[in-house]
Each structure stands twice: as C-alpha cells, then as structure tokens.
C-alpha cells in the first residue's frame, strides 16, 4: 500500500499581499500527476487546507476541482483533517457528499473519539488511520473558574495527551493482528523548527507536547502546522510534511516536500521524502546597493514562467543614502518584483527566539517573559515604566477571560 502525507496547503494565501493561487494551482496539478505516477492508494492532508476560515470562491474551486480530479488517478481514498486556519464548518459541510467519493473529512472533534477512527482495506492490506484534527482548547478542556494561566496551560497540555490516549485505546479496540496504525495531528510538537509564516496556535506555552507523549501504538504520526519538513526529535515515525510552497521569506533556503509511505505485511517499510518543484522563484538577496543591483540581474523565472518575488536585505543603506525607490528602480526592465526591502541592522536585532535559546525549552517561558524580551529587543526600558507591564498583564487577563467564555 502507498500512502502520501502532505499538509498546510493554505489555499488563498497571499505573500505580502500577492496572491499565490497560481502556484497553488500548479502544485495541485503536480500532486494529481504524482498520485497517478506513484500509484498512491491513500492521501493524508494534515490540516490547514485553507489560509482563512472563510476561503474565497477561487480557493474553494481549487480544492473541489482537485478532489474531483483524483477520481481519474490511482488514488481511491483521501483523509483530510482541519487545521487552526480552517473553519470546521467549511471542512465538514460536504462530509456526506465527499464520503461517497471515499474522501473522509474531520473538521473538529465530536466528543466521540471513534468518529476519528478510519479503517481501510487496500490491495488486501489493512490500515487504521486516526484522523485527529486541530484540537481547540474549548473542544477538549472544560474551563475552571479562577485557574491561573499556568494551570490553563498544564491542563490543556494534559487534555491533548489524554485525547491521543483515548484515540489510541479506540485503535487498540479494533486493531487486532498485524495492522499498521497512523495518527494525524495539527499542532506544535516540542523539538520542531518553525518559520515566520506559522500562525501561533496557542497563547504562551499552551499545547506544547513532546514526541514521547504520543502513544506507541502508532506506527507513524502524520503532522501538520510547521512549514519546514522535518522529523520531530530525530524520530523517523513522527514527521511534519511541511507546506508545499514558500509562504514567507523565512522559508527560502530549504526544499519543500511531501512524504511517501509504503506498507507491506502490516509494517510501514519506508518513509521517503519527495521534493515539490519550485513553481515560482522566491529569493532573498543581501548586500550593498551595487551588490544588490548585480544580484537582481541574475534572477530569472524558472520553467513555470511565474514572475520571481524578491526580498532585498540592504546592508549599508544609511551610509549609501540609498532610498527604497532607488532599489525599486534597479528592478526596472527586469522580469521580477521586489516585495520587501529590509535593513540588515533590523535583522540583527535579537528577538525572543534568541533569548529563549538560553532556556531549556520555549515552553518554560511565560507570556510576561516573552513580552519583556520583546521590550528589550525594541530597546524599551520596561523597568522604569512599570505601568506598561501592568497594562500588559491587564490585557492578558482580559484575553484569558474571553478565551474561557468562548
């Protein structure tokens, strides 16, 4: 049996206000061809199908055209779970219709973990998939009056662990024999590397679980949310497929992937990364004005003919007296578009992620600590302005109260 793991399509995403529907359409066409070429039996999409909870008509059309197009490929089964960007209603609305096409969707938890358990028999081989969607706080944890922020975090983390334990128990109840089991998930797992484009799922340290918190019954954990393809803590069986396209300039510099799994005799024998083509050149260049001008001349569209997008990181802007307009003029007559101009000294500022490097885990930081780090990054003297700390604490408590009431 062949299974393909992908996630974080973010249909409808805009990179600095530029629509990415062209490359998303190219990706889905490529994926359709790959499914047929590799004779994929089952497709897993681990959340964030759309970039917003109210996707545009164009985004919905891309999605449904892709699903209908799968009927002409070797693939006969699809499992799609909702992510933190997805509205559960959007994912679940066509559930019964899609089920008739062997497309199974889980937009949110129902309160009955058995609803998340899917069993397949493909080519004489059996497989169990636990289709766990993004787990919202209010869906799995009951609020307790008067609990502190730390208590909220601890109880929510435990609720996540408990949910996967309950799912594992439901899998165990139907497993019987040598049948591989795969769990899906859309969350941050401690040990994963982030980029700028992932929207924070939880406030503070909510929801940070570790690789060890997943039950051992699962032969593979198909994760979504982080956009860099990676193994979690070096574990071959716990992986993020990553986003298929570049959704921020911080994602430039590493290849995008989908993951091919192959099973035989009840065992997942192989997990192979397949590179996704670069449908658009998205480039980050750095240097002084003269260097920038030379580098711009060497940027060209690839075989897909989409206009390259560029971030310019200028190293000596103040000394050179170069303006943003001067940089844009350097691109006149070139087949590219400069979307962003950044000063190198801005990028040299130490942010919270660098301060956090001195701690054992990012989950050890409180929201107030992160706020204080941001103040230091911006060179704001919070020690001599205690009213700012008080205002932050007041805003934090209001946010937590609103979260409890949702």
Mean pLDDT, to the nearest integer, of 187-201?
69
DSSP string, 230-252: EEETTEEEEEE---SS--SGGGT
Does the pLDDT of residue 202 top 60, yes or no?
A: no
Q: Which residues are registered as beta bridge partners of 239? A: 222, 231
Does the pLDDT of residue 204 top 70, yes or no?
A: no
Residue 383 pLDDT: 73
- Please give the C-alpha separations between residue 18 and each of 15, 81, 83, 299, 338, in angstroms, as whole numbers: 5, 27, 23, 19, 11
Tokens 């591989």: give the residue.
180
pLDDT band (50, 70, 90) for residue 143: low
Q: 2-275 is classed in which CATH architecture?
A: 4-Layer Sandwich (3.60)
Contact 12, 43 (CB under 8 A): no
Cβ contacts of residue 392 below 8 Å, gap of 6+? Answer: 368, 371
Can you tell me the distance from the alpha carbon of 11 to that of 53, in angstroms, rounded to the nearest whole number?
11
Residue 337 pLDDT: 96
pLDDT band (50, 70, 90) for residue 314: confident
Q: Mean pLDDT in the chain?
A: 86
Residue 201 pLDDT: 57
Mean pLDDT, to the nearest integer, of 178-199?
81
- Please provide the CATH number assigned to the domain covering 282-347: 3.30.160
Render pLDDT for 88-112 as a digit per residue (tens, 0 to 9): 999 999 999 999 999 999 999 998 9
Q: Residue ranges of the domains in the chain?
A: 2-275, 282-347, 352-405
Contact 45, 78 (CB under 8 A): yes
Q: How do the residues of the chain divide into helix, strand and coil, expressed in percent and rounded to 5?
A: 35, 25, 40
Does the pLDDT of residue 279 top 80, yes or no?
A: yes
DSSP state of 306: P
DSSP state of 211: G
Same fold, 2-275 and 282-347: no
R_g over Cα of the chain: 23
Contact 333, 299 (CB under 8 A): no
Does the pLDDT of residue 356 top 60, yes or no?
A: no
Can you tell me the distance from the alpha carbon of 394 to that of 348, in angstroms, rounded to the nearest whole number?
31
Residue 255 pLDDT: 96
Residue 362 pLDDT: 45
Helix axes 367-377, 386-405, angle to 10 degrees: 140
Residue 361 pLDDT: 41
Residue 196 pLDDT: 64
Provide the whole-model pTM.
0.82
Mean pLDDT, to the nearest integer, of 147-164?
77
């Amino acid at each position: 049996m062949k299974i393909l793991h992908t996630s974080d399509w973010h249909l409808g995403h805009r990179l600095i206000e530029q629509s990415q529907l062209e490359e998303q359409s190219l990706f889905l066409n490529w994926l359709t061809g790959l499914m047929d070429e590799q004779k994929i039996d089952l497709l897993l999409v681990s959340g964030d199908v759309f970039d917003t909870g109210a996707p545009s008509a164009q985004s919905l059309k891309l999605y449904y055209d892709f699903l209908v197009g799968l009927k002409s490929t070797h693939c006969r089964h699809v499992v799609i779970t909702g992510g933190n960007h997805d509205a559960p209603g959007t994912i679940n609305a066509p559930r019964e219709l899609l089920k008739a096409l062997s497309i199974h969707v889980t937009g949110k938890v129902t309160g009955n973990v058995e609803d998340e358990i899917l069993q397949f028999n493909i080519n004489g081989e059996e497989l169990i998939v636990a289709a766990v969607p993004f787990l919202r706080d209010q869906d799995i944890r009951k609020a307790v009056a008067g609990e502190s922020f730390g208590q909220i975090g601890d109880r929510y983390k435990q609720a996540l662990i408990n949910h996967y334990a309950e799912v594992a128990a439901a899998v165990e109840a139907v497993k019987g024999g040598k049948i591989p089991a795969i769990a899906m998930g859309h969350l941050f797992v401690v040990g994963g590397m982030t980029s700028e484009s992932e929207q924070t799922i939880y406030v503070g340290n909510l929801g940070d679980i570790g690789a060890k918190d997943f039950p051992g019954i699962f032969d593979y954990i198909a994760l979504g949310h982080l956009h860099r393809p990676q193994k979690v803590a070096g574990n071959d069986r716990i992986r993020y497929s990553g986003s298929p396209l570049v959704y921020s300039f911080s994602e430039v510099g590493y290849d995008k992937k989908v993951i091919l799994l192959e099973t035989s005799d009840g065992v997942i024998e192989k997990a192979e990364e397949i590179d996704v083509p670069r449908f658009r050149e998205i480039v980050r260049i750095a240097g002084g004005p003269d260097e920038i001008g030379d580098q711009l001349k060497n940027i060209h569209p690839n075989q897909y003919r989409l206009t390259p997008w560029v971030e310019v990181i200028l190293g000596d802007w103040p000394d050179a007296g170069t303006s943003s307009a001067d940089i844009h003029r350097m691109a006149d007559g070139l087949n590219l578009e400069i979307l962003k101009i950044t000063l190198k000294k801005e990028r040299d500022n130490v942010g919270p992620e660098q301060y956090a490097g001195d701690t054992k885990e990012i989950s050890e930081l409180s929201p107030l600590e992160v706020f204080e780090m941001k103040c230091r990054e911006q060179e704001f003297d919070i020690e001599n302005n205690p009213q700012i700390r008080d205002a932050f604490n007041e805003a934090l408590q209001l946010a937590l109260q609103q979260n409890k009431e949702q």
